[in-house]
Amino acid sequence: MGVSAVEKETSMRRRSILVLAALMIASLMTAAPAVAAGHLDARLTVVHGIPDTPVDIYVNGAKTLENFQPETVTDPIPLESGSYDIDIYTVGDGPAVAAMPVLSTELQLPPGGNVTAVAHLTDTGGLKLSAFLNDTTATQVNDARLVVRHLANAPAVDIIANGSLALFENVTNPNEGQLDVAAGTYGVTINAAGTDTVAFNAGDLTLPEGKSTIVYAVGDLGAGSFTLLIQSIDLPMAAANGVATVVHGVPGLVVDVYLNGNLTIPSFAPETVLGPLMLPATDYDIAIYPAGANPLATKPAISAETSLPAGANASIVAHLDGSGIPIVTVFVNDLSEIAAGEARLVVRHTAFAPAVDIIANGSLALFENVTNPNEGQIDVAADTYGVTINAAGTDTVAFNAGDVTLPEGQSTIVYAIGDLNGGTFTLAIQAIPNLGPDGWFGDDNFSVHEEDINKIALLGITKGTGPDTFSPSDSVTRGQMAAFLNRALGLNPSAVDFFTDDDSSIFEADINAIAAAGITKGTSAATYSPNDPVTRGQMAAFLVRAFNIPPSAVDAFTDDDGTLFEAEINALAAAGITKGTSATTYSPDAPVTRAQMATFLVRALGL
Instruction: State how far the Cα of 141 lies from the Cα of 236, in Å rounded to an integer.
Output: 11
Amino acid at 99: A
**Global confidence as pTM:** 0.80
Single out the residue of 186, 227, 222 nearest to residue 72, CA to CA: 227
Residue that finishes a domain, picked among 203, 234, 265: 234
* Average pLDDT along the chain: 90
Average pLDDT over residues 24-35: 31
Phi first, then psi: what are they for 466, rounded to 5°?
-165, 180
Contact residues for 527 (Cβ-Cβ < 8 A; gap 6+): 499, 500, 501
pLDDT beyond 90 at 347: yes
Instruction: State how far the Cα of 595 lies from the Cα of 604, in Å rounded to an integer.
Output: 15
Residues 17 and 161 in one domain: yes
Q: Where are the beta strands (DSSP E) in 382-475?
A: 383-391, 397-406, 411-417, 426-432
Residues 479 and 500 in one domain: yes
Residues 77 and 138 in one domain: yes
CATH code of the domain containing 344: 2.60.40
Q: Which residue has the higher pLDDT, 1 or 499?
A: 499
Which residue range(s) make up the domain with 432? 337-437
Does residue 354 have a cis bond before it (omega within 30 degrees)? no
Percent of the chain with pLDDT over 90: 80
Distances from the Cα of 192 to the Cα of 25, 157, 158, 168, angstroms: 42, 5, 6, 12
Average pLDDT over residues 566-572: 96
Residues 407 and 522 in one domain: no
Contact residues for 224 (Cβ-Cβ < 8 A; gap 6+): none
For residue 196, give the DSSP letter. Answer: S
pLDDT of residue 1: 36
pLDDT of residue 212: 97
Residue that finishes a domain, picked among 402, 437, 472: 437
Predicted confidence band of residue 28 (pLDDT cuts 50, 70, 90): very low
> Do the domain assignments include residue 156?
yes
Predicted confidence band of residue 38 (pLDDT cuts 50, 70, 90): low
Instruction: State how far the Cα of 10 lies from the Cα of 4, in Å rounded to an integer.
Output: 10
> Do the domain assignments include residue 268?
no
Could you tell me the sign of the dihedral formed by the alpha carbons of 490, 494, 499, 501, in that order? positive
Name the strands in the sheet holding 313-320, side by side, starting at the edge strand that comes first in the sequence. Answer: 272-280, 241-249, 313-320, 326-332
Predicted confidence band of residue 526 (pLDDT cuts 50, 70, 90): very high
Q: What single string gives the DSSP state of each residue in 205-266? A: EEE-TTEEEEEEEEEETTTT--EEEEEEEEPPPP--EEEEEEEEE-TT--EEEEETTEEEEE
Residues 61 and 151 in one domain: yes
Residue that finishes a domain, picked among 176, 203, 234: 234
Q: Which residue has the higher pLDDT, 34 or 246?
A: 246
CB-based contact 517:141 (threshold 8 Å)? yes
pLDDT of residue 238: 64
> Do the domain assignments include residue 310?
no
Contact residues for 382 (Cβ-Cβ < 8 A; gap 6+): 341, 342, 343, 406, 407, 408, 409
Single out the residue of 87, 86, 150, 159 nearest to residue 123, CA to CA: 150
Residues 428 and 466 in one domain: no
> Do the domain assignments include residue 248?
no
> Do the domain assignments include residue 112?
yes
> Do the domain assignments include residue 315?
no
- Count the domains in the chain: 3
Residues 384 and 354 in one domain: yes
Residues 374 and 514 in one domain: no
User: For 174-194, what is each residue's pLDDT tens digit?
Assistant: 999 999 988 999 999 999 999
